Amino acid sequence: MADERVKRRLAAIFVADVVGYTRHMEQDEAGTLSRLKARRRDVLDPLLLRHEGRLVKILGDGILAEFASAASAVRCAVELQRDMDAANEGLPETRQYVLRIGISLGDVIVEGKDLYGNGVNLAVRLESHGNAGDITISSNVFDQVCREVVAEYDDLGPVSMKNFAKSVHAYRVRPCPQQPPGADGGQSTPLSLPPRPSIAVLPFNTMGANAEHGAFADGLTEDLITELSRTPGLFVIAQHSAFAYKGKPVDVRQIATELGVRYLLEGSARRSAERVRVNVQLVDTLGGYLWAERYDREIEDIFAVQDDVAARIVEALVGRLIVPPMRNRPKSMEAYDLCVRARSLGWNSAGSPEAIYESIVLLQQAIAIDPSYAEAYGWLAFNLWSTWANAMDATGDNRRLSLEMAKKAVALDANDAQSRWILGYLLAYEGRWSESDAAFDAAIAMDRNSADALIFRAELLAFAGRASEAMDVMEQAFRLNPHPTASYYWEQSLVYYVARQFEKAIETVRGSPAYRTGARRILAASLAQAGNLNEARQEAALFMANNPNFSIGKWAESQPFRDPETRQLFVEGYRKAGLPE
């Protein structure tokens, strides 16, 4: 008998279902079938074609589709929900069709044109878990798309799924709304050009379908941003804001206007086993292309390519060559690849426990390969500290170890601004104020474009009761990073709270991706201080549902307060909101 092997492949599975399908059929069976068929033809089919999805089958009141990448599946889902909303507009409720969508990423069994297996089953369960209009995704999908697809992501935590032995960590995806006033760091009008030459490095395109090639191109983009940021004569947009344009059609003038810069760097990268090919071009959005270059080098020369590109840009924009102090480069490409993967998980994961732990493993592996890799130690320090800050480390061992790793990073590379501010931040939580201040001063002197250093310094200034200074530093951070992560809005709400601008704090949390993070307790306190006690207690209850071990006393004891009055302001607000002592 012939050996019939089961065919399997990795795929992003997309399941959509019409909410209230039975009710619609009871009211108008023929009309419902006709209208849904028209929706598939006019709305769904063009989106599947655009995002390279394949309709596997129609499931009565829903559909099953597959995509080659999680990012394509999520982009399609976001656009589908928007287009369905637009199609419903102005129609009577009986003719409005609302979808729930579930997306998973996993191994599937291929049988002809059909698909089976746990990947399909999980997508079905994720879809059924959502509410009308929801897009619910698994954690491994989130890890792939959190910086690829510009949207808001609500962490739903571990969710019990029928016929799954273990809970599944899930996220809800929501299209980004219009920013509320103040959510851009106070910039409600078009951003003006800074006095020094200003540039954004757009995410490099990947020439190749391999996911590892995409990570390599992202790493190259990130490293170029870091190198340019260290040049005192330049104004450089932060990584997260640059990556907001990844995968989007490039209109250089529009992007430059939105980011408030004059120059853009575009590029592409192709990596093979032994070589790397990089194309770059520098664009003056008020003029035209300034220069373009192509590099075809051995893979080990990638850091020389980065240095050359950075030097060419500085010379073109500043008018003279400025060489910042040399940084400690990794000695192993394997270690570098591991660190690049950890970067994308750790900093852009919105506190996902799975991503933080995976980052720690990747960084430990990188250090095992290259024990002198300073950047890996710095990222490891921040991720270890995050396990303590997010109540994932009950013993406190990771907090102690994180400080050791941060010191090690600075010892290995005294010219790395990121390791300096990470050390400064951790020292503040140890109450070592003068050392913390010195570390932040050094980091910002090395890299005045470090939005991350500025936003975390703003937090520490707020905890010191220096609200006016914190506001100024926070605005600098938002100018460098106008499309930031949720953590920036969390810090912004904290600064507004300390400044007793409670309405602004409320507006910031409610209108930003920080709403379903720990910033919710700042929202609760702000509502209480503003006199909205019922709403404050509702938000406090929602916060406690996700943070059952929180107590005011433990929190106040662990935070880097230098000013007793500021500590009391938080304690008072939390008590009014009904958070536990």
Within 8 A by CB and 6+ apart from 288, the residues are: none
Neighbouring C-beta atoms of residue 226, cutoff 10 Å: 22
For 201-211, the pLDDT digits (tens) are: 998 887 654 55
> What pTM did the predictor assign?
0.69
Instruction: List the single range of 258-272, 287-301, 478-492 with lowest mean pLDDT.
Output: 287-301
Calpha distance 129→568 (Å, rounded): 41
pLDDT at residue 320, rounded to an integer: 61
Instruction: List the single range of 72-81, 110-119, 292-301, 385-394 with lowest mean pLDDT.
Output: 385-394
DSSP string for 378-402:
HHHHHHHHHHHHTT--SSSHHHHHH
Query: Mean per-residue pLDDT for 171-175?
Result: 88
Calpha distance 155→169 (Å, rounded): 8
Residue 43 DSSP code:
I
Instruction: List the single range of 345-349, 538-542, 549-553 with lowest mean pLDDT.
Output: 345-349
Closest C-alpha to 563, from 426, 474, 461, 494 = 461
pLDDT at 179 over 50: no
**Kindly report the CA angle at 442 between 335 and 476, in degrees rounded to 5?**
95
Determine whether 270 is exposed, middle or buried from the number of CB atoms within 10 Å of its CB (0-12, 13-18, 19+): middle
pLDDT at 170 over 50: yes
pLDDT at residue 286, rounded to an integer: 83
Instruction: List the single range of 40-44, 248-252, 364-368, 475-479 with lowest mean pLDDT.
Output: 248-252
| Average pLDDT over the chain, rounded to an integer | 86
Which domains are assigned to the chain? 7-174 (3.30.70.1230), 198-318 (3.40.50.10610), 333-577 (1.25.40.10)
- CB–CB of 103/81 below 8 Å? no
pLDDT at 145 over 80: yes
Residue indicated by tokens 């302001």: 569
pLDDT at 182 over 60: no
pLDDT at residue 163, rounded to an integer: 79
pLDDT at residue 1, rounded to an integer: 40
Run of H or E residues at 205: strand 205-206
Query: Mean per-residue pLDDT for 412-440?
Result: 95
Instruction: List the single range of 213-217, 254-258, 407-411 with lowest mean pLDDT.
Output: 213-217
SS3 487: helix
Instruction: List the single range of 137-146, 186-195, 328-337, 507-516 with lowest mean pLDDT.
Output: 186-195
pLDDT at 562 over 70: yes
- Residue 382: phi and psi, rounded to 5, are -65, -40
Residue with more model confidence, 423 or 22: 423
pLDDT at residue 31, rounded to an integer: 87
Query: Mean per-residue pLDDT for 212-225?
Result: 80
pLDDT-derived band at 216 (thresholds 50, 70, 90) equals confident
Calpha distance 204→247 (Å, rounded): 10
Alpha helices in 390-485 (DSSP H): 397-412, 417-429, 433-446, 451-463, 467-480
pLDDT at 178 over 50: no
- Residue 284: phi and psi, rounded to 5, are -95, 110
For 27-69, the pLDDT digits (tens) are: 888 888 988 988 888 888 888 887 888 999 987 778 999 998 8
- CB–CB of 175/207 below 8 Å? no
Calpha distance 478→84 (Å, rounded): 34
Q: Which of 44-48, 171-175, 331-335, 441-445 shows the highest mean pLDDT?
A: 441-445
Beta strand extents in 272-403 (DSSP E only):
275-284, 289-298
Query: Mean per-residue pLDDT for 486-508?
Result: 94
pLDDT-derived band at 186 (thresholds 50, 70, 90) equals very low
pLDDT at residue 444, rounded to an integer: 94
Query: Mean per-residue pLDDT for 283-307?
Result: 83
Alpha helices in 499-562 (DSSP H): 502-510, 520-529, 533-546, 552-558
pLDDT at residue 181, rounded to an integer: 36
Calpha distance 17→356 (Å, rounded): 33
Closest C-alpha to 341, from 215, 213, 242 = 215
Residue 61 DSSP code:
S
Residue 326 DSSP code:
P
Within 8 A by CB and 6+ apart from 540, the residues are: 521, 524, 574, 577, 578, 579
pLDDT at residue 506, rounded to an integer: 95
pLDDT at residue 500, rounded to an integer: 95
Calculate the alpha carbon distances from 247 to 177, 206, 217, 499 in Å.
19, 10, 13, 39
Amino acid, single-letter form, for residue 464: A
pLDDT-derived band at 325 (thresholds 50, 70, 90) equals confident
Residues forming a β-bridge with 268: 205, 279
Run of H or E residues at 64: strand 62-67
Percent of the chain with pLDDT over 90: 43
Query: Mean per-residue pLDDT for 383-406?
Result: 85
pLDDT at residue 180, rounded to an integer: 38
Query: Mean per-residue pLDDT for 471-497?
Result: 93
Query: Mean per-residue pLDDT for 179-201?
Result: 66
Query: Mean per-residue pLDDT for 366-377?
Result: 95
Calpha distance 517→489 (Å, rounded): 10
Calculate the alpha carbon distances from 184 to 314, 484, 492 in Å.
28, 9, 10
pLDDT at 150 over 80: no
For 64-103, the pLDDT digits (tens) are: 999 988 888 998 999 899 888 888 887 777 888 999 999 9
**Kindly report the CA angle at 226 between 436 and 416, in degrees rounded to 5?**
40
SS3 357: helix
Query: Mean per-residue pLDDT for 486-510?
Result: 93
pLDDT at residue 278, rounded to an integer: 87
Exposure letters 228-243 (e unless 16+ CB within 10 A, then b)? bbbbeebbbbbbbbbb
For 3-15, the pLDDT digits (tens) are: 456 788 888 999 9
Query: Mean per-residue pLDDT for 340-350?
Result: 71
